[in-house]
Structure 1
Amino acid sequence: MSQTIASDTFLRPSLRVHAADNVHVALKDLPAGTEIDDNGRRIRLAEAIRHKHKFALQALAEGDLVIMYGVTVGRVTRPIAEGGAITTDNLEHSTDSGQAQARREHWDVPDVSHFQGATFDGYHRPDGRVGTANVWVVVPLVFCENRNIEVLRQCVADALGEDPYRDYKRMARELLHGQPDSTPAEKTVHDERLFPNVDGVRFLTHTLGCGGTDDDALALCRLLAGYICHPNVAGATVLSLGCQKAQIDMLRQAVAERDPEGLRPVHYFEQQASRSEDSLIREALSTIFEGLKAANQITRQPAPLSELSIGVECGGSDGFSGLSANPLVGAVVDRLVALGGSGILSEFPELCGVEHELIARCRDDQVAERFRTLMDAYQKHAAAVGAHFSMNPSPGNVRDGLITDAMKSAGAAKKGGDSPIVDVLDYTEPAMRQGLNLLCTPGNDVESTTALVGSGANLVIFTTGLGTPTGNPIAPVLKVSSNSEMAQRLPDIIDFDAGPIIRGEAQIAELADKLLQMCIDTASGRYQPKAVQLTQYDFIPWKRGVSL
């Protein structure tokens, strides 16, 4: 049993993140009257400060700016005393209005000598890309087919002897009947795997495909094409109703754009053109089982780390996320980029307030202008429906110290590290350039993770401070906690603990090497993430238009 981290194990009571900041972050609960040292200056807390929350280093008047991470994260709405808490009652969202500084021609490349020549064991595809998993996908073109997808899911699980919920079913029977279940235990999937080189069949469901705009139907097809043609996917079975907006021809075209030589086997079925549901299910099952047989002929082989593309995401963030887990992941991305690999940073609403810093990192004017254009378009679209990026923080975020969107964004952007930005992608566009890419997605955890994989990430690192079970159907998702207390409380969903950074027990560089090694082990199939163990296969397309 893991021991709980006591508050007195923290080597420092609070932290100034950047030299220009006028706030400290409390690393543990601090009672009123506590004296804090800030570069030799003593500050007495005017009130109790909860851990993860911020307090002022000087008296702040209405209209003053609050600076954290070296950038503006809010504007004071009520006077705040020196040592006073920063809250939603005295701070509102505000961001820097300054222009981008000169673009960087150089960046501080991390030491990656330990990983030079390192490889991972992946699945080499005919198009030259390398997967970190080997799955067959079954996808519906419209929500009307979700029921048939579920039928196929249960049939395949039964035929393969794979029931991830068998323990819960046994639990339910015991609860209902009030006595231990006497039903013989079924074999586990690992007892006798029919297809040992295949990671499974993934069944996607969604609520789109009809009733929306033509652009939404096209975006859905492009997203599905990103999954079908993904290096982690051996092939696909597609179910269509027939009369919906997202037509088979649209998906065929989207697939052809990504796979012009037709190297990926894809089987299409239309229910309204089928003789019966029985016939539809039988033919679909046949393609799945034949696909599994072919996929099982592929084995893992060594590949350079340049074939890794890591999507980075955060969800259930807390006041420590921007101090530990997010910069740790950014350090991993920097290491991978230095080794020739790629990273993808998404969630445009959570880049609000640090645009000028990201623009300064764009490799040329064209990339910078693309970022400005997509950010402006997104904000205008939000304004048209009465929304604003400032509405992004969730109640859980605010409760744990992320008072404004700018404060949340400044910490969230740390996941992108410091390397140059080589490209900016709109939703569903594939990442084509090695290095750090920006991808336009919403801040919704699952919608964004879904998009990261659709654009080519073959591994995802997901940071969380409050805890989230999020996973993905085709790409392994590693969960990194910002604090040790949560990692110990929810060990079934957390893969890596960044808490030692907060306690001052470990440096980011040290843990970044360990986390990168975990990424290599995951990409090689040697480590199975908790989300995969829980069969947490979340898939939510982004609906950008309206229902008609």
Structure 2
Amino acid sequence: MSETIASDSGQLDSLRVHAADNVRVALKDLPARTRVEDGGRELQLLEPIRHKHKFSLDDLAPGDAVIMYGVTVGRATRPIPAGTAITVDNTEHSTATTMPQAKRGEWRAPDVSTFAGTTFDGYHRPDGKVGTANVWLVVPLVFCENRNIEVLRQCVADALGEDPFRDYKRMARTLLHGDSTTEPDTPARERLFPNVDGVRFLTHTLGCGGTDDDARALCQLLAGYICHPNVAGATVLSLGCQKAQIEMLKAAVTERDPRGLRPVHYLEQQTSTSEEALIREALMTIFDGLAEANRVERAPAPLAALSLGVECGGSDGFSGLSANPLVGAVVDRLVALGGSGILSEFPELCGVEHELIARCRDDAVAERFQALMEAYQQHAARVGADFSMNPSPGNVRDGLITDAMKSAGAAKKGGDSPVVDVLDYTEPQTRAGLNLLCTPGNDVESTTALAGSGANLILFTTGLGTPTGNPVTPVLKISSNSELASRMGDVIDFDAGPIIRGEASIAELADELLQRCIDTASGRYRPHAVRLAQYDFIPWKRGVSL
């Protein structure tokens, strides 16, 4: 798409994204009888069109394809006269394989001379990887240990004087008791471990009661977190009798860390003398681990050591026009600099598979992508689900009428570079460049998986707003529109809205956003999700989520 958003008449009122499209997007609320110029002809709207929504350019008969981004994103279910809104009442999900716009081996990398030789200040690990953060991880092997995890969380926060919810607790006391009983402000304590970003505590609902595959997938995911470049080491709590056994997790960790370079402490409650003894031993491993992690200081690292996971959630009708292609442009720049990107959410690639297949570096990569997509669709069908069910009520309300329409915009987060590898859920990234990762479209399940596969920074686009974060990987939130950036300024880290208004090009903002990524990776910028201690972690039970 073009690097600035503008209608054919030069007015910032509507946009045809691709020359082959038979719909336009309203960039602002358009009243009925508004005259719209498109390709040298004039069209009059037959009804009001809300901003972010689409309207037809031609008279569409039942069965005709609705085309946006140059691909089929739906099919008319009733007559849709030109100048009429595309809605769930007249359009249904549909896809079609067309001639791909991309061709293997023809990618032209963007000019990245501005960033030549640029480094970020990261944490260098013994295995050669570089972290953008430095945390100690506390992990339960089974949900039975969640309560002990919460005890440890509160104890550690109190001991370190790092309670992220202190102000909210004061607010609650004030609301209940009045100002007279609130505690006076206390000066912030000096950080005992200045080179450590904190302790992260995971909880989940798995580890027992499921299938053997569930247990293995959980252990593979936890191993991805334990061996993550942003993690200095881990404390693992096990009950003892559950299906996900310590030996299973140890084997998964060894696959990723065959030389045993990452310190991991395994504690089992059923062999401990008491709960108090278990908590004491866990606290000792945490505090000893923090002391060890604190010896590692940030040092310059090449941008090739960065791996950007890309995610979208709470998407709107502008996401595919501004925030998503902006993130894609950042991924392209990073790939051109030797770094990596990971594009997930397979249900939100439905309808653009042929484009991604055309970008795969070889037939083997393309065949794996096809196989995983087909297996996922069949898995979903067995539990009565389908990719077409993916759009949420919020998506539909803000202009994303079908899954294919949502997918065509969501795929823009992957930019245009070649697909070098396709990863199944929990598999680690090993090849530099753009990777595809099989995950559901569920925001937190997918973000959880991106970190588990090695993304050391995550870019999360949103049009409606979401607080989503991750325990080990910093998450930057990019808004598709400026109204959201203003209204949820305590959540949004970067505003792509100027693209919609035609005030900035994607290329200009991509350079700014890449610099924000570098500052975040270096610890100079702290994302709002980290400030708010938004540490979301949800493993995926395969076949259940879209």
TM class by shorter chain equals: over 0.9
Preserved contact between residue 161 and residue 187 of structure 1 (Cα < 8 Å): no
Write the letter of the residue equivalent to 2:273.
R
Would you say 1:250 and 2:239 are equivalent positions? no
Would you say the 8 A contact 1:471–1:531 is kept in 2?
A: yes
Q: Quick check: 1:170–1:181 contact (8 Å CA) kept in 2?
A: no
Deviation string, structure 1 residues 1-59 (Cα, Å, up to 9, x no partner):
xxxxxxxxx95110000000000000000000000011221110010000000000011
Q: Which moved more, 1:178-187 or 1:268-277?
A: 178-187
The Cα offsets for residues 252-302 of structure 1, whole Å up to 9 and x where unpaired, read as 000000000000000000101111000000000000000000000000000
Query: 1:465 maps to which residue?
Result: 463
1:106, distance to aligned residue in structure 2 (A): 2.4
Report the CA distance between 1:99 and its aligned residue.
6.6
Partner of 2:148: 148
CA contact (8 A) 2:30 2:50 kept: yes
Residue 102 of structure 1 deviates from its aligned partner by 7.9
Letter in 2 for 1:264: R
Q: Secondary structure at the match of 1:303?
A: strand
| Aligned ranges 1:30-429 → 2 under 5 Å | 30-98=30-98, 103-188=103-188, 191-429=189-427
Counterpart-to-counterpart distance in 2, 1:373 and 1:211: 29
Cα deviation 1:434-492 (Å, max 9, x = unaligned):
00000000000000000000000000000000000000001100000000001000000
C-alpha distance in 2, partners of 1:102/1:270?
A: 53
TM-fit CA distance, 1:179: 2.9
Contact in 2 for aligned 1:334/1:417 (Cα 8 Å): yes
Separation in structure 2 between the aligned mates of residue 540 and residue 427 of structure 1, nearest angstrom: 13
Amino acid at match of 1:156: V
2:448 to 447, 450, 469: 450
Q: Deviations over 1:366-388 (max 9, x none)?
A: 00000000000000011111110
Gap runs ≥5 in structure 1 = 1-9
Aligned AA (1:301): A
The answer to whether the 8 A contact 1:215-1:545 is kept is: no
Percent of aligned pairs sharing the same letter? 80
Q: Distance in 2 between matches of 1:73 and 1:98?
A: 12
Tell me by how many angstroms 1:96 deviates: 1.1
2:4 aligned residue: none
Give me the TM-score of the superposition, normalised by structure 2.
Answer: 0.97
Q: 1-side partners of 2:508 and 2:213: how far apart?
A: 46
The one-letter code matched in structure 2 to 1:55 is: F
Report if aligned partners of 1:30, 1:51 keep a CA contact under 8 Å in 2: yes
Alignment of structure 1 residues 5-44 onto 2, 5 Å: 11-44=11-44
1:545 CA drift (Å) = 6.3
The one-letter code sitting in structure 1 at the alignment partner of 2:58 is: Q
| SS of structure 1 residue aligned to 2:379 | helix
Q: Is the 8 A contact 2:23 2:68 kept in 1?
A: yes
TM-score (norm 1): 0.96
User: Cα distance 1:493–1:180, how it changes in 2: closer, same or farther (>3 A)?
Assistant: farther
Letter in 2 for 1:524: S
Q: What does residue 4 of structure 1 align with?
A: none
Count of aligned pairs:
535
Cα distance in 1 between the residues matched to 2:186 and 2:522:
29
Contact residue 103 and residue 362 of structure 1 kept, 8 A: no
Contact 1:103 1:363 in 2 (8 A): no
SS of equivalent residue, structure 2 residue 121: strand
Ranges of 4+ aligned residues in structure 1 off by more than 6 Å: none
SS of match in other structure, 2:158: helix
Give secondary structure in 2 for the equivalent of 1:504: coil
Question: 2-side partners of 1:250 and 1:323: how far apart?
Answer: 45
Cα distance in 2 for residues equivalent to 1:373 and 1:466: 33
Cα deviation, residue 108, structure 1: 1.7
**Contact 1:136-1:202 within 8 A present in 2 as well:** yes
SS at match of 2:224: helix
Unaligned runs of 5+ in 2: 1-9
In the alignment, is the contact (CA less than 8 A) between 1:101 and 1:356 conserved in 2?
A: no
